[in-house]
Amino acid sequence: MWNEAQIHALVEGQRQFFRSGATMDVGWRIQQLKHLKKAVQAHEKEIELALAQDLGRDATEAYFCDIGSVILEINEALHHLKRWARPETHWSGLVSFPSMITKVYKVPYGTALIISPFNFPILLSLGVLAAAISGGNTAVIKASSKSAESTKVLQKLISSAFPPEYVTVVDGGHDVADLCLAERFDKIFYTGSPRVGVHVMEQAAKNLTPVTLELGGETGNWCIVRKDADLKDAARKIAFFKILNSGQICININQVAVAEEVAEEFLDLLQKEFHRQIGPDPVHNEEYPCLITEAAYQKCAEEAEQYKDRIRLGGIGDRVLRKFAPTIIYPVGKDEPIVQHELFSPLLPVVPFPDDQVDEILQTIEAREHGLSLYIFTKDVAWAKQVLARMQYGGGCINEVCLHLMVKGVPFGGVGHSGMGAYHGVWGFREFTHPSTVLIGATKGNLPLREHPYKGLKGAWKKKIIKLVER
């Protein structure tokens, strides 16, 4: 178990290493990214086994969601880091004459703290680490105590690739996380719940440390299914997404709002899709993931019990296996408790609404805390684009789910209770660097426009020229 002295010594060691200047060289960073990629590939089977033990994940799902996604993130940095890190050159403008050249340097923050969650313990630690390395930082990863086997593999993987003064993994519970937060880091990146996000910000504020928060959203992510949607396609994709990691995904669908004109048809198709993809007995299907802890299982089972008279599918589980079946609950009012908080489970409330009153559903979504994702299924893509262009949320899809997370070159992040900041690709590099503007001054040809005196004829002449160049 880590103690205060050990954490302090670790952070100070990383700070000294950063001050040595070793991380500033872009070529050196590229080598570290290659070490990280090689380590992930070398420990692939161990990662798959750990994810199976922690979350009941099948090897294919483990590779798709964690291993492969990390490799994609590393590869993008390897391909583009030289360009990302190149100083920008800007024309200073007439107001700065004769000092006409300004540079913007991408300066690393220094020593970073990465606090990762249990649900995607590899992706949401090493994917963030790739951005931190790209930016030229050292990093302490505080891994989740809930996904204990994955944390063990992370420690082994990182120690095989990097010295602790550069990158290391710290295990332990909230007490160890607080020891880390008590240290003066130069950057903190936290993925988890809004409640803990508030605590992270409070601690970071003591040192004015910049923070990136990737949160699930207080009231969960909505999916809207209009009456003109391709219902079979929507049901197929929504079922897949709810099965994935047993619903323990920050961008997962928390509740579906479906046009009441097609609600019964949609529900029928959704039930068929759950059966087709995971079978009639998902609880005993080896491919179906489990909930992370017995407490998570208990919370899910108790909430399902409250709505047992409206369960259309599922509602059963196995406490020993920590598996709870995908559960459709219908009908649910838009103001009921189950759609007022993030579920993080395989429960799926379905809220019916008259299709011509879709604006009321949108107003409900807007009135609550901003979600991390928003999904819309409709043939009226133009309308959906207008909606998604004006709503406040992290990111989303039209006639699709979750894949916006996989697109190269675009940001991923939330707003308000779903987070702040964004990463992936160049956006991750930006998140871990400070853009430092440096004007290169000329020593000859300087004009006295900015200097006193400001009164009299000289002042009037100066003001006219300044107004001419500052228009």
Q: 471 falls in which pLDDT band (50, 70, 90)? A: confident
- State how far the Cα of 200 lies from the Cα of 114, in Å rounded to an integer: 11
What is the structure's pLDDT at 95?
86
What is the structure's pLDDT at 174?
94
Domain ranges (residues) in the chain: 4-217+419-434, 221-368+373-408, 441-469
Residues 6 or more apart whose CB falls under 8 angstroms from that of 326 comprise: 239, 242, 243, 247, 274, 278, 282, 313, 314, 346, 348
In this prediction, residues 56-67 reach a mean pLDDT of 95
* DSSP class per residue in 152-191: HHHHHHHHHHS-TTTEEEE---HHHHHHHHTS--SEEEEE
* Catalytic residue IDs: 214, 250
Sheet with 111-115: strands ordered across: 167-170, 138-142, 111-115, 187-192, 211-215, 419-420
Angle 174-181/4-19 helices, nearest 10 degrees? 40
- State how far the Cα of 206 lies from the Cα of 203, in Å rounded to an integer: 6
- The class level of CATH for 4-217+419-434 reads alpha beta
What is the structure's pLDDT at 448?
84
Q: 1 falls in which pLDDT band (50, 70, 90)? A: confident
What is the structure's pLDDT at 31?
98
Q: What is the tens place of the pLDDT at every residue in 289-332?
A: 999 999 999 999 999 999 999 999 999 999 999 999 999 999 99
Q: What is the tens place of the pLDDT at every residue in 128-161?
A: 999 999 999 999 999 999 999 999 999 999 999 9
What is the structure's pLDDT at 470?
83
- The class level of CATH for 221-368+373-408 reads alpha beta
C-alpha distances in Å from residue 399, one per residue of 229, 235, 255, 370, 377: 8, 11, 16, 20, 4
- State how far the Cα of 111 lies from the Cα of 115, in Å rounded to an integer: 13
Sequence-ordered alpha helix ranges (H) in 255-339: 263-278, 294-306
In this prediction, residues 389-415 reach a mean pLDDT of 95
Statement: residue 468 has pLDDT above 90? no
Statement: residue 459 has pLDDT above 90? no
* Residue 322 amino acid letter: R
Could you count the other beta carbons within 10 Å of the beta carbon of residue 67? 21
Statement: residue 26 has pLDDT above 90? yes
What is the structure's pLDDT at 216?
86
In this prediction, residues 238-263 reach a mean pLDDT of 97
What are residue 436's DSSP bridge partners? 105
Angle 231-243/263-278 helices, nearest 10 degrees? 50
Statement: residue 467 has pLDDT above 90? no
pTM listed for this prediction: 0.96
Q: Tokens for 467, please give them.
A: 């107004």
Instruction: Please report, rounded to a whole number, the percentage of residues in the chain having pLDDT higher than 70.
Output: 100
Q: What is the tens place of the pLDDT at every residue in 67-117?
A: 999 999 999 999 999 999 999 999 999 889 999 999 999 999 999 999 999
- State how far the Cα of 379 lies from the Cα of 216, in Å rounded to an integer: 28
- State how far the Cα of 274 lies from the Cα of 313, in Å rounded to an integer: 9
CA nearest to 77, candidates 108, 107, 34? 34
- State how far the Cα of 433 lies from the Cα of 60, in Å rounded to an integer: 34
Q: What is the tens place of the pLDDT at every residue in 157-210?
A: 999 999 999 999 999 999 999 999 999 999 999 999 999 999 999 999 999 999
Least confident of 27-31, 436-440, 450-454: 450-454
What is the structure's pLDDT at 78?
98
Q: What is the tens place of the pLDDT at every residue in 341-394?
A: 999 999 999 999 999 999 999 999 999 999 999 999 999 999 999 999 999 999
Q: What is the tens place of the pLDDT at every residue in 436-450?
A: 999 999 999 888 888
